[in-house]
Amino acid sequence: MALLVLSGLAKYTAYSSSGSAGTEVFDQLPNTLKVLLGFSGFEVSKISGFYAFLFPYIEITAAIHAALIGSGIIAKEERDKTTEFLIAKPTSRRTIITSKLLAALFNIAIINIVSMLSSFAIVPTFNTGEDITGEIIILHVIMFIVQLIFLTLGTLLSASLRKSKSAGSIAANIVLIGYIISKVTNLVDHLDALNIFSPFTYFSLEKAVNANEISVPITLISLALIAALGCEG
């Protein structure tokens, strides 16, 4: 994650050095291309805009990791033939699943914290202007919620599917489909109803960066969804 942040921000110098000329070039790009590349809604000549442009790539990486952790935390017991061993112990199924979910939660929290701390350390190297610490924190709070959604979804798939070994590939595909939906709905307004199927669209990155705010109602709904998926799993 640190290398992803570093390699992404290393390109910022080229954008910032071009100044207003670079901004004019980006403004002249077709909207379709700007949406697909992630430039839409951000001024990439500023560090806050550039980090927001880079952030979806960090987010989808963390989301795929969370989905695979969620699906694998249970499926590996079947794969490694240790399910019977666990069940034979004087421990309830609820205790086992809860312990595994806590372990998975710890894993995704570490990924999120490493990404955020890396950003804190690396951004000042390329940024000589505004302080974007607040924006980074808000973006990573959003990322953690998205991670939790895919973590619990992966766990639900693993617990529900007859062949739990396939849960990982299905969960990863769902993440990618969700990302594609986020791009499609940005391009085609009348397909906005599809946003409900993509956690990547639940929060506005533009508001997070430009207004330093996160939607409280959407946060509460997301947490309710996480709780529902976790309980079902």
The Cα 86–Cα 102 span in angstroms is 17
Q: Note whether 129 and 50 are within 8 A (CB).
A: no
Checking if the pLDDT of 72 tops 80, the result is: yes
Number of domains in the chain: 1
Query: 194 is in which domain, residue-wise?
Result: 55-232
Token pair belonging to 140 = 């990573």
Domain assignment present for 6: no
153 belongs to a structural domain = yes
Confirm whether 8 is domain-assigned: no
Give residue-wise pLDDT tens across range 74-123: 777 777 777 667 777 777 777 877 888 899 999 999 999 999 999 999 98
The answer as to whether 81 is a domain residue is yes
- Residue 163 domain flag: yes
Q: Both tokens of residue 198? A: 């993509």
- Per-residue pLDDT band for 188 (boundaries 50, 70, 90) equals confident
Tens-digit pLDDT profile for residues 153-186: 988 888 787 776 777 888 889 999 999 888 888 7
